[in-house]
Chains A and B, each alone.
Chain A
Amino acid sequence: MRPELERELIRKCRAGDPRFYEPLVRAYEPAGLRLSIAMMGNAEDAEDALQEAFVKTYDSLHRFDLRKPFGPWFFQILRNQCRDMLRSRKAKFRVESLDERLESRPADPEDGPERARQRNAARELLWAGLERIGDEHREVLVLKELQGFRYAEIAQILEIPEGTVASRLFHARQALQAALVELGVEGP
């Protein structure tokens, strides 16, 4: 969504018309759901966190600085919501085993059933590895690897300097590698 359109929608929401919030929700929902699922580990908690984050974002729109992009600000609220839920007694990072909501890329027609099985097994192991590492490491990996954010954007979402993003990514990747080795994955 174009930034000027986002700003216009936000202005209209601030003026008291929530109908203009729908395009923003629809635009950010797919990426928000990816981040949320990756942080919460399962779709049910992820949708609860996403819904709560959208409501909190709406309630805070009057505090949003219109000179800045909306996306990182929203993802910051969503990330805080996921962390709050993980900290509270309501939810715990819990991976749904080969959950139907965590789909792999469409199967390559040249891939045989054996290849598909290997891919599924690798995917399950990766999720199991993510389950074993700390929340702080998981969130930075998710933002980088699944959302494809640049360091500057991750820094804004996590409210840390860019140097810390690089450093945290290094330790997160090491932690994930160690977790995968513990799970029996042979090093490359």
Chain B
Amino acid sequence: MSAPGPVSEQDLMRYLDGELPPAERARVDTALDASPELRAQLENFRSLRAGFHDLTFPPAGPDRSVWDRVAVRVFRSSERMFIGIGVGLWLAYGAYELSTGRSDAWTRVAVGGMAIGVLVLFALVIRDRYRTWSDDV
């Protein structure tokens, strides 16, 4: 019978975690039979794994769920999207009215002023978002 190939650290981990195909497992089994050091190393890793089995976590109950906090933010982002679409349509209509020149001068000034105000507001929101993002990175 030929000697088994060397068992790499990756082979050993795959063996321990049940990720090796049967043929490879047999090769590692043979190597384990032949090497007390390798057996001892595997046993060390096995007992380390056993320690993790004692650790569990409490299930997330309805009282502790993060959903409420997540919901506030995802619903807000949907609302923002609809407001954005609404404002976009309103601005487009305003631009159309201005370009066709059907409105009187005062109406055009008022609509233009409001449009500029909305754009400035958007720019400020984007700037704040960018600052927050920069602080996070």
Contact = CB atoms under 8 A, between A and B. Distances in A.
Interface of A: 16-18, 21-22, 25-26, 29-30, 33-34, 37, 47, 50-51, 54-55, 58-59, 84, 88, 101-105, 119, 122-123, 126, 141, 144-146, 150-151, 163, 166-167, 169-171, 173, 176-177, 180, 187-188
A33 B74 contact: no
B67 to A, nearest CB: 5
Contacts of A51: 66, 69-70
B66 to A, nearest CB: 5
Contact of A150 (B19, B66, B67, B81): B19
Nearest to B20: A166
B10 interface: yes
A164 to B, nearest CB: 9
A18 B54 contact: no
Q: How large is the interface on B (under 10, 10 to 19, 20 to 34, 35 or more residues)?
A: 35 or more
13 contacts: A16-B81, A18-B74, A26-B65, A29-B60, A51-B66, A102-B55, A126-B54, A126-B55, A145-B49, A170-B9, A170-B13, A173-B13, A180-B48
B74 A173 contact: no
Given A88-B136, A119-B54, A18 B47 contact: no
B10 A166 contact: yes
A103 B56 contact: yes
B5 interface: no
A166 B14 contact: yes
Interface of B: 9-10, 12-14, 17, 19, 43-45, 47-49, 51-60, 65-67, 69-71, 73-75, 77-78, 81-82, 136-137
B78 A54 contact: no
A50 B44 CA distance: 33
Contacts of A54: 66, 70
A47 B66 CA distance: 7
Nearest to B82: A16
Contact of B57 (A33, A141, A166, A187): A33
